[in-house]
Amino acid sequence: MSRLKQLLKIKKLKQFFPNMKPLVIITVLLFTLTSCYNRYNNVSVTEPVKSSVHELVHIPSSKEMKKIEGGSYLGFIGKDSGRIVTVDSFLIDDSPVTVSEYLEFLKKNPQWTKSHINRLYADNDYLHNWEGDFEIPKNVDPNSPVTNISWFAARAYARSVGKRLPTIDEWEYVGLADEQTKDASSKPEFTEFILNSYQNKKTYENPIKADKPNYYGVYDMYGMVWEWTSDFNSVMITGESRNDSATNETLFCSGAAVTTSDLKNYAAFIRFAMRGSLKADYTVNNLGFRCAKDI
Amino acid sequence: MKKAFLLLTAIFTMLSCKHEEKPKEVDLSNSIFQLDSTWEDQNGQKIKLAELNGKILVIAMIYTECKTACPMLTNEMRNIERSIGNYDPAQVRLVLVSIDPKTDTPEKMKAYLKLNNFEGEQWLFLRSDDESTREFANVLSVKYKKISPMDFSHSNIITVFSKYGELAYQKAGLSNDIKDVAEEVKEQIKKS
C-alpha cells in the first residue's frame, strides 16, 4: 500500500512539474527493481553474526607473568620420543586464569557468555555451574581457576588480554621444574609428586597459589586443573574415542601411536592421553587454562 | 497510454513480492560461515568462509606432499563427487584444506587439483595461516601434527556442511565407503 501512496504523491507533484513523466516512470521502475531485493537477501542468509573471536574487546589483566628462559629437553611421546624439543624464551601466567578474571572478560565480551556463546565454540556444559551470564555461583571461590571452558573460549580470553595459549612444548617445559630446579624429570620423587597430584579430587575448587611455586615462580602446574594448550589437537593416539571400531587404525595418516620413551614419563603420558581425548568445544569441570606470551 | 503503463507497473510492483516466501528462520549459531579467518584459494584469491554461504560443502584436510593417506582421501573426494550424480556445480563446493600452508602455495594447490582432474568451479583448495588452520581443524575435530620437515600425521575425516554451514555429516577413517557421504550431499541438494 505504501507504494501506491508514493505513486499518488508523485502524481500530485506532476501538477507542478508537467514534464516529470519520464522521471516518474524511472522512479517507479527503480522502485520495482529494488523492492524485492531485501527479502530475497533474507532467504539466503549472508550476515555472519557478531560472535566472532576476532571482534574482541581488549581488557586489562593484572595477572603476573614469569619469564621462562628458552632451552631444550627430551620429548615424551610418539614420534617425539627421544626428540630434542627446543623452546624459545617466553612469558607464562604465574597461575591459571580465575573465575573472577574470566568474569571481567565476559562483562566486556558478552558474546562469550553462557547464553550467547556460539554453539560452534563450546558444548552445553560451558560454564556449567554458573547461574547467569554474569553470576558466579555462591559456593564457588572467585579466586579458584575457571573451568568448564572450551579451547575456543580459552583462546578468546587469551587474545582479549593480548596473550595466547602456551604450546604443549612450552607447557611441558615449564612443567619439568620442581621447587628447586629447572628440570626435575630425573627425580623419582618429582614423578611421584605429579602422579599423586593427579589422584586428588575436586582440586579445581581450591583457590590458586595456595601451594608453593616452582623454580620459575609459577604456581599450580600440578594439583589444580588440566590446562588447555594451543596445539592440543596435535596429539594423536590410536584408539581415540571418536570411532571405537575396527577402522580405528586408519584414522590417522602415519598411525602415530603413543609410545612412551620412558616409563618414568608415565605422568606425561597421562597428560598427552588427556589432550588426545579432547575436542576444542569440550568443557570439563577440571580443565582450565593459563596464558602465555612471546617475548 | 503512459498512465496505463504506470498503472501496470505499479500493479506489477505490488504483485511481484506477494509470492515470495517469508524468510526462513535459520539458526546460524553453529555455522562455520561465522568463522572470520581469511583463506587463499588455488588462484591466489583471498576468500572468507562467509563467501561460501549458500553452498553445500564437502571438506577434507590434506597436504600436497603427502604420500600416504592424502592420496586416498583425495580419491574418496573424487568418488564422492562422482556418486552425487548430476548436480548443479554452483550448489556444491568440494573443498581441500591445506594443513601445510607454508608449502602449499596457490601454484601447488592448483597443480594438485589439475593432476587429479578436479576441474570446474565446484573444486576448491584453500590455505590460511597456521593459527586459522588449527582453529578450522578444531571445528572439524581434525587432529594433525608435523612429524618431520616434510610430513604430518593427521586424522582422515571428510565433513559435509549444509548450505547454512551446519555440520551435517562426518566420516572418519579411510574406509573407502563414501556412499553415506554422497547420500548426505544428495539429501542436502534436495533440501536446497
Residue spans per domain, chain A? 2-42+71-96+155-294
Dihedral sign for Cα A267, A269, A270, A276, please: positive
For A183-219, write each residue's pLDDT tens digit.
998 888 898 899 888 888 889 999 999 999 999 999 9
Q: Predicted confidence band at A138 (pLDDT cuts at 50, 70, 90)?
A: confident
Distance between CA A202 and CA B162 in Å, rounded? 41
pTM for the whole structure:
0.77
Distance between CA B72 and CA B93 in Å, rounded? 19
B31 neighbourhood in chain A, CB within 8 Å: 48, 120
Cβ atoms of residues B109 and B26 within 8 Å: no
Q: Could B141 and A151 be called an inter-chain contact, meaning their C-beta atoms sit closer than 8 Å? A: no
More confident residue, A247 or A72: A72
Nearest residue of B to residue A10, measured between CA atoms: B6
Of B48, B70, B46, B45, give the one whose Cα is nearest residue B60. Answer: B70
User: Structural domains in chain B?
Assistant: 27-191 (3.40.30.10)
Instruction: Look at B48-62, B141-155, B156-170 and tell me which has the smallest mean pLDDT.
Output: B141-155
Q: Could A55 and B50 be called an inter-chain contact, meaning their C-beta atoms sit closer than 8 Å? A: no
More confident residue, A25 or A248: A25
* Residue A119 scores a pLDDT above 90: no
Instruction: Look at A83-87, B103-107, B134-138, B160-164 and tell me which has the smallest mean pLDDT.
Output: A83-87
Cell of A49: 553474526
Q: Could B53 and A46 be called an inter-chain contact, meaning their C-beta atoms sit closer than 8 Å? A: yes
Q: Could A25 and B2 be called an inter-chain contact, meaning their C-beta atoms sit closer than 8 Å? A: yes
Query: Which of A234-243, B92-101, B147-156 holds the top average pLDDT?
Result: B92-101
Task: Tell me what pLDDT residue B154 has.
Answer: 87
Cβ atoms of residues B7 and B15 within 8 Å: no
Cβ atoms of residues B135 and B35 within 8 Å: yes
Task: Tell me what pLDDT residue B147 has.
Answer: 78
Helix (H) or strand (E) holding B167: strand B167-172
Distance between CA A96 and CA B53 in Å, rounded? 38
Q: Predicted confidence band at B13 (pLDDT cuts at 50, 70, 90)?
A: low
Q: Predicted confidence band at B177 (pLDDT cuts at 50, 70, 90)?
A: confident
- Which residues have C-beta within 8 Å of that of residue B14, sequence separation ≥ 6? A3, A4
Cβ atoms of residues A144 and A56 within 8 Å: no
Q: Could A54 and B154 be called an inter-chain contact, meaning their C-beta atoms sit closer than 8 Å? A: no
CB atoms within 10 A of CB A93: 26
Task: Tell me what pLDDT residue B68 has.
Answer: 77
pLDDT cut 70: percent of chain B above it: 85
How many angstroms from the chain centroid is the CA of residue B148? 29
Of A181, A237, A236, A192, give the one whose Cα is nearest residue A214. Answer: A181
Which letter does DSSP use for residue A251 in this model? S
Task: Tell me what pLDDT residue B29 has.
Answer: 72
How big is the CA angle at B70 (ends B67 and B71), to the nearest 5 degrees?
75
* Residue B173 scores a pLDDT above 90: no
Cell of A9: 504523491
Q: Could B141 and A255 be called an inter-chain contact, meaning their C-beta atoms sit closer than 8 Å? A: no
Nearest residue of A to residue B13, measured between CA atoms: A32
Distance between CA A282 and CA B85 in Å, rounded? 37
Q: What number of CA atoms fall less than 13 Å from residue A97's CA on the CB side?
A: 30
Q: What is the mean pLDDT of chain A?
A: 79
Distance from CA of A213 to the nearest CA of B (A): 31
Instruction: Compute the average pLDDT of residues A259-268.
Output: 60
Of A216, A223, A201, give the one whose Cα is nearest residue A267. Answer: A223
Q: Predicted confidence band at A25 (pLDDT cuts at 50, 70, 90)?
A: low
Dihedral sign for Cα B54, B55, B61, B63, please: negative
Task: Tell me what pLDDT residue B1 has.
Answer: 60
* Residue A239 scores a pLDDT above 60: no
Distance from CA of B85 to the nearest CA of A (A): 25
Distances (CA, A) of A42 to A47, B26, B51, B191: 9, 10, 15, 17
Q: Could B10 and A21 be called an inter-chain contact, meaning their C-beta atoms sit closer than 8 Å? A: no
SS (H, E, C) A71-133: EEEECCCHHHCCCEEEECCEEEECCCCEHHHHHHHHHHCHHHCCCCCCCCCCCCCCCCCCCEC
Strands (E), chain A: 65-68, 71-74, 84-87, 90-93, 226-227, 287-288, 292-294
Beta pairing partners, A294? A90
B139 neighbourhood in chain A, CB within 8 Å: 120, 280
Which letter does DSSP use for residue A57 in this model? P
* Residue B151 scores a pLDDT above 80: yes
* Residue A258 scores a pLDDT above 60: no
For B114-126, write each residue's pLDDT tens digit.
999 999 999 999 9
* Residue A55 scores a pLDDT above 60: yes
Task: Tell me what pLDDT residue B155 has.
Answer: 87
Task: Tell me what pLDDT residue A19 has.
Answer: 59
Instruction: Compute the average pLDDT of residues A44-61.
Output: 61
Phi, psi of A119 (to 5 degrees): -65, -10
Nearest to A120 among B2, B32, B70 (CB): B32
ipTM here: 0.77
Q: Could B16 and A35 be called an inter-chain contact, meaning their C-beta atoms sit closer than 8 Å? A: yes
pLDDT cut 90: percent of chain A above it: 50
Distance between CA B184 and CA B168 in Å, rounded? 8
Q: What is the mean pLDDT of chain B?
A: 87
Interface test with A, best of B62, B65, B74, B145 (most A CBs within 10 A): B145
- Which residues have C-beta within 8 Å of that of residue A114, sequence separation ≥ 6? A126, A127, A130, A132, A133
Distance between CA B36 and CA A51 in Å, rounded? 10
For A123-135, write each residue's pLDDT tens digit.
999 999 898 999 9
Distance from CA of B172 to the nearest CA of A (A): 6
Distance between CA A290 and CA A56 in Å, rounded? 18
